[in-house]
Structure formats: C-alpha cells, structure tokens
Amino acid sequence: MLRDERLGLAAAIAGFALFSLGDAVTKSVSGAWSPLALAALRFVIGAVFLGFLLAFREGGRSFIPAHPFLQLARGASLALATVCFFSAVFIMPMATAISIAFVAPAFTALLSGPLLGEKVRPVTWIAIATAFAGVLVVLRPNVLALGWSGLLPLGTALGMSLLVITNRAAAGKGSVLSMQFFVAVCTAALLVPVSFIGDASGIAMFTLSWPDWSVVLRTAVVATTGTAGHALIYYGTTKAGAATVAPATYVQLITATALGWLVFENVPDFATIAGAMIIVAAGMILWWEGRLLASTRER
C-alpha cells in the first residue's frame, strides 16, 4: 500500500512537471506565431492522437457522446483556460501567470454553490478570501505594467474551475479515454475559428501566418507533454488517491519558476513570491478541508 502511494505520488509529480515543461515550450513560441493558433493546433494534434487510441481500444461506438452539450461545455471551459494562459505566458513570466492561475480551486469552491448546489462552508470562504488577497498582491504590479492583459491568468483560473465543475457533472458518462477525447475535440473545434477571429481583430499578437516547421514541432511537444502529464496524474490518482496527489500540483509552480529563471531569465519579484505563497496557503486550506470532510463522511 505504501509502495503504491509513493509510486502514485511520483507519477503525479512527474505529470505536473511535464505541464511546466510544456509551458516553457509554449513561451518559446512567443513572437513567432499567434497564441490562439498555437492553442488550436495543440488540441487538434491531441484530438487526432486520442482519436486513434480510442478507436483502437474501444471501437467506433465510443465516438458517440452520451451528453454532447455537456462535452461542449467542458471544451468551452478548457478553451477559455488555454487561450488566456497561452496569451498570458507570451507576455509575462511563467511563474506570474501560473501563480495567479492557481486561484482556480477558490473559483471552483465559489461556483460550486450556485452551479452544483454544494454548501460553501465558513472555512471555504476564508480560503477564497485568502486566495483572492494573494491574487491582488501578484496582480497589482503586473496590471500597472501590462494593463488589462495582466488579468489574463484570472481567465485561466475561471476556465479551469468551470472545467472541474463540468467534469464533475460528466463523471461516469464515459470511459476516461473517451472523456479526454471529447474534451480535446470540442476544445479544438472552438479554438480553430477563434484563431481566425483573432487574426481578423487586428491585434498584432493574434496575426496568423504560415508557421515555421520548428513552431509546429514545438506545438507537438506541447501536445505530447500535456497528454502525457494528464495520463501520469490519472495513474498517480488511481494508485495513491486524489487527496494524496492534490498537493503535488504545486510542483508545477516550482518547476515553472525554475524554468523561467534558467531559460528565460525571468527572476520572480517579491510581489510574485509573496502572492504565490498566499495563494498556495489558500489552496492547502481547501485541500485540508476536503480531507476533513471526506474522513467525516467515512465515519
């Protein structure tokens, strides 16, 4: 049992580290191609790969979703998170973007009441307030320097929280592989037209052009690290349990900070470090409360 927990935790840590590696590759494309087109191609590649895998393992009937509108809602949530995050990574240090994005659990707790009918406990409200206080600490210098685009990571957090909520609603409505395929297909289907809308907007960062082969290769790396990361985290969760694996998500912040420092020379400032610590503390409060509730229900 202890060996399974260690193996599962190690797999999850590797999965979250892969996410940061993919984020670093994403940032390396900054200025070479539109972040919207990058996001669209990333999910097209992922959907094609997952589609072949799904056909091989589960056959043609598995391509028919039981709840298509729910799958579309999952795709829309992930599309929002990805567009905001890729755009944020293009214009700000990875550690800053990821620090703010880690407020997603607070968004989830806040929205689970009206969307899922869950009761928001007093401790949860304290954690939510703490998380948003941390966001304000990180955001203030970035919004002053970047303008409204500094708020992009909040869009990432909102999208990820909506994805968590729609994933809860979709639980048990298909295999894990089919759920991954459906969300990738829906996200790609939404992001392809969005990339053309971005080009038509006249915003320089979103201008479309024929990508260099190296950009396509890097996008494939992002798709591969993302898919492999999700697979490792899923494997880790099955071995060690969600409660054991959950804190490992903060490895992503540590890895992103290290990669940003070493590769892009983005040294995190005091506001980013202080705000990130506050946000992480809020996340740990939510994790602790979740474990406490789970143990209470088991009794």
pLDDT digits (tens, 9 = 90+) for 117-154: 667 677 777 877 888 788 878 877 666 666 677 788 88
Among candidate residues 94, 82, 89, the one with its CA nearest the CA of residue 157? 82
d(CA 275, CA 129): 13
Answer for the pair 98, 253: CB distance below 8 angstroms, yes or no. Answer: yes
Tell me the percentage of the chain whose pLDDT exceeds 90.
27
Q: How many residues does the chain have?
A: 299
Higher pLDDT, 262 or 195: 195
Pull the structure tokens for residue 207.
């201008």
Per-residue pLDDT band at 286 (split at 50, 70, 90):
confident
Q: Which residues contact 295 (CB under 8 A, 6 or more apart)?
A: none
Cβ neighbours of 298 (radius 10 Å): 6
DSSP-derived secondary structure letter, 172: T
Cβ neighbours of 244 (radius 10 Å): 18
H helices present in the chain, as ranges: 2-28, 35-58, 68-91, 94-101, 104-116, 122-146, 152-170, 176-200, 213-240, 242-245, 251-264, 270-298
Query: Is pLDDT above 60 for 294?
Result: no
Q: By three-state DSSP, how is residue 119 classified?
A: coil
Average pLDDT, integer, range 245-272: 81
In this structure, what is the dihedral angle of CA atoms 273, 275, 281, 286, given to the nearest 10 degrees? -140
Averaged pLDDT score across all residues of the chain: 83
Cβ neighbours of 172 (radius 10 Å): 7
Answer for the pair 88, 38: CB distance below 8 angstroms, yes or no. Answer: no
Specify which of 1-15, 88-102, 139-153, 182-196 reaches the highest per-range mean pLDDT.
182-196
d(CA 133, CA 275): 8
Query: Is pLDDT above 80 for 33?
Result: yes
pLDDT value for 256: 86
DSSP-derived secondary structure letter, 150: G
pLDDT value for 26: 92
